Amino acid sequence: MEKVLNYSILCTEHNSAVPCNFHSVTFCLTAKYDTHIETKEEPGVQGSTGDRLNILVDTGSSNFAVGAAAHPFLRRYYHRSLSTSYRDLGRSVYVPYTQGRWEGELGSDLVSVPHGPNATLRANIAAITQSDRFFINGSNWEGILGLAYADIARPDERLEPFFDSLVRQTPVPNLFSLQLCGAGFTQNHSLGSATVGGSMIIGGIDTSLYVGELWYTPIRREWYYEVIIVRIEVNGQDLNMDCKETEQFPSGFWLGEQLVCWQADTTPWNIFPVISLYLMSENRNQSFRISILPQQYLRPVEDVASAQEDCYKFAVSPSSTGTVMGAVIMEGFYVVFDREKSRIGFAISTCHVHDEFRITSVEGPFFGIDLEDCGYNIPQTDESTLMTIAYIMAGICALFMLPLCLMVCQWRFARCLHPQGDFSDDISLLK
Compute the average pLDDT of residues 122-142.
91
Query: Residue 156: its pLDDT value, please?
Result: 93
Beta pairing partners, 111: 39, 121
d(CA 235, CA 114): 43
Q: Same CATH topology for 7-200 and 205-376?
A: yes
CB of 29 closer than 8 Å to CB of 199? no
Compute the average pLDDT of residues 367-382.
67
Beta pairing partners, 277: 232, 290
**7-200, which class in CATH?**
mainly beta
CB of 148 closer than 8 Å to CB of 60? yes
Percent of the chain topping pLDDT 90: 33
For residue 21, give Cα distances in angstroms to 13, 331, 382: 8, 10, 43
d(CA 298, CA 313): 6
Q: What is the 3-state secondary structure (H, E, C) of 275-295?
A: EEEEEECCCCCEEEEEEECHH
CATH of domain 205-376: 2.40.70.10
Structural domain spans, the chain: 7-200, 205-376
pLDDT digits (tens, 9 = 90+) for 185-235: 544 443 333 345 678 899 999 999 999 999 999 999 999 999 988 888 988
Q: Name the 3-class secondary structure at 114.
A: coil
Phi, then psi, of 305 in degrees rounded to 5: -80, 155
Residue 411's contacts (CB-CB under 8 Å, 6 or more residues apart) are none
More confident residue, 99 or 66: 66
pTM: 0.74
What Rg do the C-alpha atoms of the chain give, in angstroms?
A: 29
Percent of the chain topping pLDDT 70: 71
Q: Which of 125, 138, 112 lies closest to 35 in space, CA to CA?
A: 112
Q: CA quadruple 12, 146, 70, 139: dihedral positive or negative?
A: negative
